[in-house]
Each structure stands twice: as structure tokens, then as C-alpha cells.
Amino acid sequence: MRNESVAEIKVKVNIKMKNKKEIIKFFNKNASIWDLKEKPQTYKKIKKIISKIKLKSYENVCDVACGTGILYPYLSKIFKKYIGIDISYKMIKIAKEKFPDGKFITGDFDTYRFKKNNFNLVIIFNSFPHFENKPKTILKAKRLLKKDGKLIIAHSFKLDKINKIHKKTKHHIIEKHLITEKELKELFKKSGFENIKTIHKDYFYIEGTK
């Protein structure tokens, strides 16, 4: 494989930076109306997803791309410690206002310096399509997990529905980021996760154990 020139690498970095900036802009703009868009069925599906979580220990959880904290009421009931992270400061501002007892951080999950081997669960809910370098995000989650900890990626829709929604949108930061169940399973496997399980009903759920 030929070596990339510095200029080529710079262009790539700039494209990534631009996408992250646009993600922040998009979610900052939509933060104030985000909760209004949530349908009652979403909460029912969240309850189903949460009921699937079976761990050896419930010490601490990292809610990746937590938005306005939709999972906080459920996760904080079963875990001793909760941390939510989101790249959009306006989403985090609302999460903090709604749940003053929660720990919410503004940051990019891919680069944020968390303590390694620390979490029993890393969960990414309704957000994975927005991660541009998916293998990197999955490996990052794995590094942060304790042994026997789990990574869960879940959606309140079936995957083909999310892909359809994202394909239809005119917003260029979103439309390219499609995923299939097969690709996700492959990614979990390649990253060294074991006991990979999926559920594909009116919601989607995949888990792997470190």
C-alpha cells in the first residue's frame, strides 16, 4: 500500500473535523425540541431493552451519546454510578437541567480520556449511525470495559428503518452512515467481543462481552 502524503492526511482530518463540527451544530440546533419528538412507544422499547441487561456487577455505566438523558431514569435505578457523554453541549445542558443528580459530560466519546477497564456497561442508544469510524468507537468502548463488562448498541427502530430514515434525510452528515446487523456482528467479533447476541424485533439490540 502506498504511503499517504501529508496533504492527503490533512484533507482526511479536516473532513472528519468538519463532520464532527456539523454533528455538534445539528444536535445543538435540535436540542430544545428533542424530547418533544419522542413517541410513547420509544419509552416502552427502552424498558424492554433495559430488561435485557444482565451483568455480573452493576457498579458503573457509560451512556454514550446520551443526548438529553433519555436513559438516565432507567440506568440510574440499576447502576450505582452513571456517566453520560454527548458531543453536543446543548443536549448536555438539557440533560443536566432535567437530572441535576446525574453526571453528564460534554465531549467526543472517540477521544475523551476515560479511565480504562472501568465500566460494567457501555451503552450506545439510538446514536451509533452518527459515529463515523465505527471500528474505532467499538474498540474504544472495549478498552473502557472491565473484564466481563458488556457493550450494548441498541435502537428503538429496526435497523432497516433507521437506514431508510438516514438515507432519506438531506442532511449530508447523516445520510452516509448506514449499518447492517451482519456488519455490526462482524465488528463486535473482530474487536474481540464474546457471547455476541442480537435481538431484532420492533427494536434492535446487540451485546458483546469483554
Ligand X SMILES: C[S@@+](CC[C@H](N)C(=O)[O-])C[C@H]1O[C@@H](n2cnc3c(N)ncnc32)[C@H](O)[C@@H]1O
| Residues within the interface to ligand X (CB under 6 A) | 23, 27, 65-67, 70, 85-88, 91, 108-110, 125-127, 130-131
Q: How far is the CB of 3 from ligand X (least distance, A)?
A: 28
Query: By beta-carbon distance, which residue lies closest to ligand X?
Result: 67
Q: How far is the CB of 82 from ligand X (least distance, A)?
A: 14
Q: How far is the CB of 144 from ligand X (least distance, A)?
A: 13
127: which residues sit within 8 A by CB, 6+ positions away? 64, 65, 67
Minimum CB distance to ligand X smaller for 60 or for 126: 126
Q: Which of 206, 166, 162, 157 is nearest to 186 (CA)?
A: 206
Q: How far is the CB of 175 from ligand X (least distance, A)?
A: 14
Minimum CB distance to ligand X smaller for 27 or for 82: 27
Neighbouring CB atoms inside 10 A of 207's CB total 22
Strand stretches in the chain, DSSP E: 60-64, 81-86, 103-106, 119-125, 145-155, 194-200, 204-209
Minimum CB distance to ligand X smaller for 65 or for 144: 65
| Residue appearing with cell numbers 468507537 | 137
Minimum CB distance to ligand X smaller for 120 or for 137: 137
Using CB atoms within 10 Å of the CB of residue 182, give its burial: 0 to 12 exposed, 13 to 18 middle, 19+ buried: exposed
Q: How far is the CB of 7 from ligand X (least distance, A)?
A: 26
Q: For residue 187, what is its C-alpha cell?
A: 465488528
Q: For residue 104, what is its C-alpha cell?
A: 453528564
Q: How many CA atoms lie within 13 A of 65 on its CB side?
A: 20
Minimum CB distance to ligand X smaller for 14 or for 57: 14
Q: How far is the CB of 181 from ligand X (least distance, A)?
A: 19
Minimum CB distance to ligand X smaller for 4 or for 17: 17
Which whole-number Å values give the CA distances from 120 to 1, 55, 81, 116, 127, in the listed order? 39, 7, 10, 11, 20
